Structures are given as structure tokens and as C-alpha cells.
Amino acid sequence: MRNFTKALDHLQRSDKALSALIRKVGPCKLGIRRHASPFAALFQAIVYQQLNGSAAGTILGRVKALYPGKKFPTPKDVLATPDETLRKAGLSRAKVAAIKDLAFHARQGTVPSPRVIVGLTDVEIIERLTVIRGIGQWTVEMLLIFYLGRPDVWPTTDYGVRKGFARIYGMAELPSPKELLELGEKWRPHRTVAAWYFWRALELPN
């Protein structure tokens, strides 16, 4: 279990509403999802886009089954796989195109290796990866949070964070990403933990 004591101390001092939310939710249980590589993490993220977890998990399982004996296909494997084969596994044409582009960029070195990515800043990672088809800033932010465990990621376009924020602060409308960026400044350098609590806010009884 990661230690969030310093982050929680900072966030609870920031304002009463967030402090009350933290007390209701309890300890932060934000964990890291272990993937073999950034390529594998982004591959999975593309599969899961705009699908519920169960459906996406089924499709991911079918795709991985195309490569027997391997936990996860390599970029070379993906590029060698006909589009129609990936389509029959359940991927849309747009997702096949995105996964092929991801594999191409991984072969070119744009997608960092596990060793290289840990030495890059959040901004450098976002700039490198958002050139890939189907990979936007939100997807990279999820990689930073759940694969790398970066402490100060503030996903201002995330619907759950915006909705949780509005609920806790009694806002009639969702804050815009620009508003949320400004409002979150006081939580640096622990905005990842703040985001986790706003996600949890949606699970609390009304």
C-alpha cells in the first residue's frame, strides 16, 4: 500500500469541503495497475475507450488470444496482424487504426520503454504520446496516474472528476476544464490524490 500521509495532510488543510470528503471516504487506496510496458498499457486503454469494463475485457481477451503463448502481443506482432483479424476479435475500425498507429510509433521509439519513461516528465510524456492516433491527453493522464503513479496529475477533462467536484462544492453545473485547472492549483503537488477522492465522491450516498 502506498503512503499518502503527506498528500492527505496537505489536501485536508486546503479547505473544509475536501477535508470532509476525505473523512467520509477514508484512506486513499489508489493503486498502480501493473502492465508489461507503456505500449501494453496504452493498447489496453484504446480497447477500453467508450466501452463498459466487462465488454472491453472480453474483447481484450479475444485480441490477446490471437497471440498464443504470449501474455501480450509486441508492436511487431500487431503490425503483422491483418486488420480484419483484429476486427473479428471485436475491435472497431477506428480502434484497429489506433492500435496499428500505436504499434508503429512503438517501433519508431516514440512510445518509451519502461526504463526510459520513468525518466521523463509528465509534460514530456504527454507531448510524445498524444501524436498517436486515438491517444489524447486524458488517456495519457490515466497512464501517468495508474501505470506510473505520478503524484500531481489533474485530469480536468475527466467527467467523473468534474462531476465529483461539482457535487462536493454544491455547483449546479459542471466546472469547465479551465475552471477546474484554476481551482485545483491549491492542491499541487498532490492533485492525483485529489482527483481520486472526487471520483470516490460519486460513490457516496446522496
Residue 1: the pLDDT is 60
Residue 34: the pLDDT is 75
Q: What pLDDT band is residue 32 in, cutting at 50, 70 and 90? A: confident
- Same domain for 44 and 105, yes or no, is yes
133-149: per-residue pLDDT in tens? 999 999 999 999 999 99
Q: Would the pTM count as exceeding 0.85?
A: yes
Q: What pLDDT band is residue 29 in, cutting at 50, 70 and 90? A: very high
Does position 111 have pLDDT exceeding 80, yes or no? yes
- Same domain for 74 and 130, yes or no, is yes
- Which helix (H) or strand (E) covers residue 56, if one does? helix 53-65
50-82: per-residue pLDDT in tens? 877 788 899 999 999 999 999 899 999 999 999
Instruction: Give the number of C-alpha atoms closer than 13 A to the C-alpha of residue 183, restricted to the C-beta side.
Output: 19
What residues have CB less than 8 Å from 149, skipping those under 6 apart? 2, 32
Residue 206 included in any domain: no
Residue 160: the pLDDT is 93
Residue 54: the pLDDT is 86
- CATH assignment at residue 93: 1.10.340.30
Of 42, 28, 47, nearest to 194 by C-alpha is: 28
Q: Do the beta carbons of residue 134 and residue 97 sit within 8 Å?
A: yes
- Same domain for 21 and 42, yes or no, is no
- Same domain for 141 and 163, yes or no, is no
Q: Do the beta carbons of residue 24 and residue 18 sit within 8 Å?
A: no
Query: Buried (b) or exposed (e) across 118-134, using 16+ Cβ within 10 A?
Result: eeeeeeebbebbeebeb
Q: What is the mean pLDDT of residues 161-173?
A: 96
Does position 11 have pLDDT exceeding 70, yes or no? yes
What residues have CB less than 8 Å from 70, skipping those under 6 apart? 64, 77
Share of the chain above pLDDT 70, in %: 100
- Same domain for 171 and 197, yes or no, is yes
- Same domain for 115 and 182, yes or no, is no
Q: How far apart are CA 72 and CA 64, in angstroms?
A: 6
* Mean of per-residue pLDDT scores for the chain: 94
Domain that holds residue 18: 5-31+153-201
Q: What pLDDT band is residue 206 in, cutting at 50, 70 and 90? A: confident
Does position 106 have pLDDT exceeding 70, yes or no? yes
Residue 25 included in any domain: yes
41-51: per-residue pLDDT in tens? 999 999 988 87
- Same domain for 59 and 142, yes or no, is yes
Residue 50: the pLDDT is 81
Catalytic residues: 158
